[in-house]
Structure 1
Amino acid sequence: MEVKVKRIARRDNYTIGKMYVNGEYVCDTLEDTDRGLTSKMSVAQISGMKVHGETAIPTGRYLVDMKTVSPRFGGRPQYQFCKGRLPRLCNVPAYQGVLVHCGNTANDTEGCILVGENKAVGQVLNSTATFRKVYTKLKAADERGEQIYITIE
């Protein structure tokens, strides 16, 4: 399965994008500030430009793991349906624990990708329902034995 996040609005304090699954638009995304990082940069270069907890992940293509329970979010009620197993991006240079999860503003993410509907400036709304929709698509692919990749551009 191929997931794409196309960043469409880069602002000082947040980044809005559109998420596509196998070419089909699924939802909007919200990330921290895009500082121009790419997965082709060295860890030292990324670390030199990254502001901890306030920087979107580098553009690039990453494998997604659907089997790891999030230590931070796993026990929260909105994730009980998936037993706390949130989509986790693997091998993001200079980042750890990058997830796709619920949230509404850049304050709700520390480099992760929030999903929802961009119906308010600098926010995504209906995030919990949107997360369930995205998760269902990804989990179905995982159960079919497909590898899931996400490309950030």
Structure 2
Amino acid sequence: MHIRVMREPSINDTTLGSLFIEDHWQCHTLEDVIRPTGEKVRSKTAIPPGCYRIILTMSNRFKKIMPEVLNVPMFTGIRIHSGNTAKDTAGCLLVGQTRSVETRSIGRSRAAYTALMLKLRAA
């Protein structure tokens, strides 16, 4: 399955955006800061916007099957998981059903993650 990640400009250490599956909005996203092309700080850099293939694989860190984002230039091991602020990302995509620009956070993250997993498992 493929996803498309669209985002807004970073505010401080946070980048809010949206995740689409087959051109249908799925959920809000939260990532680390966007950096200039070619510049990367490990676990503190948003992936480039674009379309990516995702598969379900075992995460060594989380010890469970999770979505992995493939073929991201300069990145490996990118996961989609729940969380609410940039402190939770470690360079991964966080998903949520609500968002707040004021607090630079997303909410109802576990619900968004569960809905995404149901869609991925059904594909």
Q: Same fold (TM over 0.5)?
A: yes
Counterpart for residue 27 of structure 1:
27
Larger deviation: 16-25 or 27-36? Answer: 16-25
Aligned equivalents of 1:140 and 1:36: distance in 2?
36
Find out whether 1:98 has 2:88 as its counterpart: no
Find out whether 1:70 has 2:59 as its counterpart: yes
Output the amino acid matched with 2:41: V
- The structure with more strand, counted as a fraction of residues: 2
Structure 1, unpaired ranges of 5+:
38-45, 75-83, 142-153
Find out whether 1:61 has 2:42 as its counterpart: no
The CA deviation at 1:8 is 2.1
Counterpart for residue 51 of structure 1:
41
- Between the aligned residues of both structures, percent identity stands at 38
Counterpart for residue 123 of structure 1:
105
The CA deviation at 1:93 is 2.6
The CA deviation at 1:10 is 1.9
Q: For 2:110, what is the secondary structure of its paired residue?
A: helix
Q: Structure 2 vs 1, CA of residues 61 and 24 (structure 1 numbering), >3 Å: closer, same or farther? A: closer
Aligned equivalents of 1:92 and 1:28: distance in 2?
20
Structure 2, unpaired ranges of 5+:
none
- The structure with more helix, counted as a fraction of residues: 1
- Higher gyration radius (CA): 1
TM-score of the superposed pair, with normalisation by structure 2? 0.87
Counterpart for residue 133 of structure 1:
115
